């Protein structure tokens, strides 16, 4: 038995009157141009909601704290912490991403505390609780040296894994990501996300993800609470999130809760890893696509740590030469995180991320005047966790600034650019009220939008624009003893844009019912997106995005319905089934035109998305694998004014270019004699394509025209939009790696891989104007090395 860590361990605190907090919060005001908005009424209302429940618990004690790993001082997720009274009755909870646990409604008396985690020695202590006591008790677990082999954390698999999808939510852990074969010795989150059914990627190139029918700009991507606008690199294997910096990722393909808003489609909420609190270690890696390094370690043992990570592409020097195919892409990313634990009730971290992408999407053989796309993300944020000594509350304050710059056009003279930034301040609270976790939060954010669009997209303003948004949410989680557990998450999000005088009320609802081996889940919600990303999806190679506020009050809106079922069979087999429906309104899509130009006016469209997924996951001894199938239908309906003249209809329903109807992903991974062999096969049915009948010149005959002087303008003889389909996409990848301990402090990992093993000529897109077909990556053999300094 080991003592609790931290100077305040075991300290007992009394609950103070709530009134002191109310007076503090009443001073919260938000300044917006032209008005003074007070958030105090929202906060007051929320506290009043919570106060009765707090009083109801007045006699009960609360235990809470953080659980960390002795080896590195980092939080452990999914540790079961329980209290057993003298009658042998157990109460308990599991730690979250921050390693935080809490147990409420503890009657005064003597208890045995136990913290257990597979692969670690159990921690046992005896605690005495008095009435109203709020005890912060941090626990350090030590790895069980007697247990050999890889640690498999059963509690963790409960919520994570390829078949563990709960009402649209799939939680991804670094270990899951490492199973995916990539042409790099270090794994990347995006490789895993593209195996999720319903996620459609623009392919090996382009860096665009479409989640269950949503557009890339409708995905909310957060890293430690910071908004990352365009996080996926130009080469589809890479994102701003290498597994080296990743702690966990929650991917909501729909039906996300009230904490998240401002996007229509999905949420990818990624939490980064903190640096080792006990000792320094480092890693360097080299491979034909990317080389990189990481260093981390304590600045003050158990109090402060730092993690620095950086990668840079070496594609033109490496992969392009391997396959003798021009791959004119360059990207890099840098990540830094400073973690500070000043006391056991406080934690603070500062995270910074920068990414850079530059490439020539399209015909790599073209001359130097071809157009390049470039984007840069910059984000910095601070996260502060506070456990008020006298309240059973988990409080989180986030302050962040994010920025993206996007350019498109000839090198050095872009014809389009877009600069978008956001400053965000938010507070998220969880009150632990017995079987209810009462979550609520407030936020204010200000966005700056600036675009120069070269005379296109005429319907949108291109002036510098500032948009301020403030809001709040409540999302209690009620737990009931129905079956083996019923959790209901009703939620309400209120977003207001004072400068535009618009407010959205967004009800949300999630339900999870466990019944033995079975889990049923359901989610629904209403979502709005005031700030929209505009681009021309007619051109698959066009990844330029400009951000703007909605036009004339036509705010994009979505309604989600998600329902699912999970079954955990014996022998570590999991099965899940999920269906979904999204109703989309006021989407901005490109107007149809036969003039050969890459961008055009925008128009409004409505849409609907529906589909279903089936997933199976198997983990047996050295074997791990999963297979999934996704069916999805995406339909947009637009009502362009010219449609009656062209097609005799007032509305045109079509499948947008990301409508992939069928998807299959198969992954198999096996450990044999310290070798790890991975195989991944993916299949996607063809994406929509607009065929043309050919080209001619168009002469505007608006009366008598002198044909000797009027040459006409080149025209594309389009048929109906997106009536044809590209060929199916499929690819088989292999990887083989082995990690060798070359000394007590140095591990070397060697990896070999085959990407697109049977050299499938998967089309990225076909440039109608040049008739040049741009393929995805060919067969790429690759070797990589990684050296870990422990």
For other proteins, the binding residues (CB under 8 A) are 592-596, 642, 644-646, 666, 681, 683, 689-705, 707-709, 711-719, 724, 726-728, 730, 732, 758, 760-763, 766, 768-771, 773
Nearer to other proteins, 250 or 659 (CB): 659
Nearer to other proteins, 135 or 667 (CB): 667
Per DSSP, which regions of 3-133 are E strands?
29-32, 35-38, 61-69, 80-84, 90-94, 100-106, 109-116, 123-129
The least distance separating other proteins from the CB of residue 454, rounded to whole angstroms, comes to 18
The least distance separating other proteins from the CB of residue 381, rounded to whole angstroms, comes to 44
Separation between Cα atoms, residue 536 and residue 362, nearest integer Å: 15
Nearest to 748 by CA among 790, 777, 718: 790
Identify whether the C-beta of residue 319 lies closer than 8 Å to the C-beta of residue 782: yes
Nearer to other proteins, 768 or 787 (CB): 768
Nearer to other proteins, 33 or 570 (CB): 570
- Dihedral sign, CA of 160, 161, 165, 168? positive
Separation between Cα atoms, residue 493 and residue 66, nearest integer Å: 29
Per DSSP, which regions of 498-651 are E strands?
502-515, 518-529, 531-534, 546-549, 556-569, 573-590, 602-620, 623-638
Instruction: Give the three-state DSSP class for 433.
Output: strand
* DSSP assignments along 127-138, one per residue: EEE-TT-EEE-B
The least distance separating other proteins from the CB of residue 757, rounded to whole angstroms, comes to 9
The least distance separating other proteins from the CB of residue 607, rounded to whole angstroms, comes to 23
What's the DSSP call for residue 25? H
The least distance separating other proteins from the CB of residue 725, rounded to whole angstroms, comes to 9
What's the DSSP call for residue 75? B
The least distance separating other proteins from the CB of residue 715, rounded to whole angstroms, comes to 6
How is residue 478 written in tokens?
Answer: 């009620």
318: alpha, beta or left? (left if phi > 0; alpha if psi -120 to 50): alpha
3-state percent helix, strand, coil for the chain, nearest multiple of 5: 5, 55, 35
The least distance separating other proteins from the CB of residue 620, rounded to whole angstroms, comes to 10
Separation between Cα atoms, residue 258 and residue 428, nearest integer Å: 11
Nearer to other proteins, 575 or 683 (CB): 683
**Sequence-separated (6 or more) residues with CB below 8 Å from residue 682:** 194, 195, 663, 664, 665, 666, 729, 730, 731
Nearer to other proteins, 89 or 696 (CB): 696
Identify whether the C-beta of residue 632 lies closer than 8 Å to the C-beta of residue 663: yes
Nearer to other proteins, 475 or 536 (CB): 536
**Sequence-separated (6 or more) residues with CB below 8 Å from residue 782:** 183, 184, 287, 288, 289, 319, 322, 751, 752, 753, 754, 755
Nearer to other proteins, 90 or 705 (CB): 705
**Sequence-separated (6 or more) residues with CB below 8 Å from residue 13:** 133, 134, 135, 389, 390
The least distance separating other proteins from the CB of residue 703, rounded to whole angstroms, comes to 6
Separation between Cα atoms, residue 700 and residue 31, nearest integer Å: 54
Q: How many helices (H) and strands (E) does the chain have?
A: 7, 49
The least distance separating other proteins from the CB of residue 303, rounded to whole angstroms, comes to 51
Nearer to other proteins, 651 or 697 (CB): 697
Nearer to other proteins, 11 or 730 (CB): 730
Separation between Cα atoms, residue 786 and residue 248, nearest integer Å: 22
Nearer to other proteins, 370 or 730 (CB): 730
Nearer to other proteins, 730 or 790 (CB): 730
The least distance separating other proteins from the CB of residue 587, rounded to whole angstroms, comes to 21
**Sequence-separated (6 or more) residues with CB below 8 Å from residue 240:** 223, 228, 231, 232, 233, 333, 335, 353, 355, 377
The least distance separating other proteins from the CB of residue 89, rounded to whole angstroms, comes to 45
**How big is the chain by its Cα radius of gyration, in Å?**
27
How is residue 494 written in tokens?
Answer: 């209120």
Separation between Cα atoms, residue 59 and residue 63, nearest integer Å: 13
The least distance separating other proteins from the CB of residue 446, rounded to whole angstroms, comes to 37
Nearer to other proteins, 509 or 722 (CB): 722
* DSSP assignments along 228-265, one per residue: -SS-B-SBTT-BS-BGGGEEEEEEESS---TT--S-SS
The least distance separating other proteins from the CB of residue 624, rounded to whole angstroms, comes to 14
Angle at 228 between CA 181 and CA 298, to 5 degrees: 75
Q: Which residues pair with 560 in a beta bridge?
A: 525, 582
Nearer to other proteins, 608 or 760 (CB): 760
The least distance separating other proteins from the CB of residue 687, rounded to whole angstroms, comes to 11
The least distance separating other proteins from the CB of residue 190, rounded to whole angstroms, comes to 23
Identify whether the C-beta of residue 666 lies closer than 8 Å to the C-beta of residue 625: yes
The least distance separating other proteins from the CB of residue 712, rounded to whole angstroms, comes to 7
Nearer to other proteins, 126 or 650 (CB): 650
Nearer to other proteins, 267 or 732 (CB): 732
């Amino acid at each position: 038995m080991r003592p609790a860590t931290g100077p305040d361990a075991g300290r007992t605190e009394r609950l103070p009157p709530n009134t002191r907090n109310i007076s503090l919060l009443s001073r919260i005001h938000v300044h917006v141009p032209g008005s003074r908005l007070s958030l105090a009424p929202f906060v007051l209302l929320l506290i009043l909601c919570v106060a009765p429940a707090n009083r109801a618990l007045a006699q009960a004690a609360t235990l809470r704290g953080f659980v960390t790993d002795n080896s590195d001082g980092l939080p452990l997720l999914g540790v079961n912490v329980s209290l057993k009274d003298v009658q042998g009755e157990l109460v308990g909870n599991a730690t979250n991403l921050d390693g935080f646990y809490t147990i409420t409604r503890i009657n005064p008396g003597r208890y045995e505390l136990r913290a257990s985690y597979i692969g670690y020695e159990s921690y046992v202590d005896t605690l005495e609780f008095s009435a109203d006591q709020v005890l912060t008790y941090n626990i350090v677990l030590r790895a069980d040296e007697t247990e050999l082999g890889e640690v498999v954390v059963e509690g963790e698999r409960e919520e994570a894994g390829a078949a563990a999808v709960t009402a649209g939510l799939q939680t991804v852990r670094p270990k899951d990501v490492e199973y995916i074969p990539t042409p790099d010795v270090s794994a990347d989150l995006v490789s895993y996300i593209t195996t999720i059914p319903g996620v459609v990627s623009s392919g090996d190139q382009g860096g665009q993800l479409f989640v269950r029918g949503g557009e890339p700009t409708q995905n909310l991507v957060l890293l430690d609470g910071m908004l990352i606008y365009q996080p996926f690199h130009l080469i589809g294997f890479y994102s701003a999130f290498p597994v080296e910096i990743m702690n966990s990722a929650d991917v909501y393909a729909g039906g996300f809760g009230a904490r998240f808003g401002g996007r229509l489609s999905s949420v990818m909420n990624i939490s980064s890893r903190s640096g080792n609190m006990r000792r320094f270690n480092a890693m360097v890696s080299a491979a034909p696509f990317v080389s990189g390094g990481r260093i981390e370690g304590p600045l003050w043992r158990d109090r402060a740590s730092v993690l620095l990570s950086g990668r840079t592409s070496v594609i033109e020097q490496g992969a392009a030469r391997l396959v003798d195919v021009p791959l004119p892409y360059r990207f890099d990313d840098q990540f830094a995180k400073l973690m500070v634990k000043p006391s056991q009730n406080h934690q603070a971290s500062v995270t910074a991320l920068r990414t850079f992408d530059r490439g020539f999407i399209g015909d790599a053989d073209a001359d130097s005047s071809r157009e390049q796309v470039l984007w840069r993300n910059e984000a910095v944020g601070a996260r502060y966790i506070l456990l008020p000594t006298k309240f059973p509350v988990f409080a989180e304050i986030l302050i962040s600034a994010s920025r993206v710059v996007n350019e498109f056009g000839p090198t050095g003279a872009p014809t389009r650019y877009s600069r978008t930034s956001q400053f965000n301040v938010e507070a998220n609270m969880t009150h632990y009220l017995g079987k209810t976790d009462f979550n609520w939060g407030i936020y204010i954010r200000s966005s700056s939008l600036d675009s120069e669009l070269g005379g296109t997209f005429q319907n949108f303003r291109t002036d510098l624009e500032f948009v301020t948004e403030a809001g709040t949410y409540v999302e209690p989680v009620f737990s009931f003893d129905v079956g083996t557990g019923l959790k209901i998450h009703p939620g309400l999000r209120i977003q207001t844009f004072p400068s535009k005088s618009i407010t959205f009320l967004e009800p949300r609802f999630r339900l999870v019912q466990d019944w033995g081996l079975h889990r049923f889940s359901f989610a629904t919600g209403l979502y709005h997106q005031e700030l929209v990303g505009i681009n021309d999806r007619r051109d698959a190679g066009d990844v330029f995005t400009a951000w703007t506020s909605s036009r004339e009050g036509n705010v994009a809106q979505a309604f989600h319905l998600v329902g699912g079922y999970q079954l955990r069979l014996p022998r570590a087999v999991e099965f899940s089934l999920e269906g979904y429906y999204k109703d989309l309104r006021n989407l901005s899509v490109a107007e149809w035109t036969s003039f050969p130009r890459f961008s055009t006016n925008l128009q409004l469209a409505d849409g609907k998305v529906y589909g279903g997924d089936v997933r199976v996951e198997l983990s047996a001894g050295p074997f791990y694998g999963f297979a999934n199938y996704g069916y999805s239908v995406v339909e947009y309906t637009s009502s362009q004014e010219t449609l009656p003249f062209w097609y005799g209809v007032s509305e045109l329903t079509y499948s947008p270019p990301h409508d992939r109807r069928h998807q299959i992903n198969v992954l198999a991974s096996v450990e044999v004699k310290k070798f790890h062999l991975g195989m991944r096969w993916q299949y996607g049915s063809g994406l929509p394509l607009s065929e043309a009948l050919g080209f001619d010149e168009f002469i505007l005959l608006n009366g008598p025209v002198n044909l000797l002087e009027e040459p006409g303008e080149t025209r594309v003889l389009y048929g109906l939009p997106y009536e044809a389909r590209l060929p199916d996409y499929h690819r088989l990848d292999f990887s083989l790696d082995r990690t060798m301990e070359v000394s007590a402090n140095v591990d070397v990992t060697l990896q070999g891989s085959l990407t697109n093993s049977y050299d499938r000529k998967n089309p990225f897109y076909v440039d109608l104007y040049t008739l040049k077909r741009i393929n995805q990556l060919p067969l790429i053999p690759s070797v990589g090395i990684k050296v870990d300094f422990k």
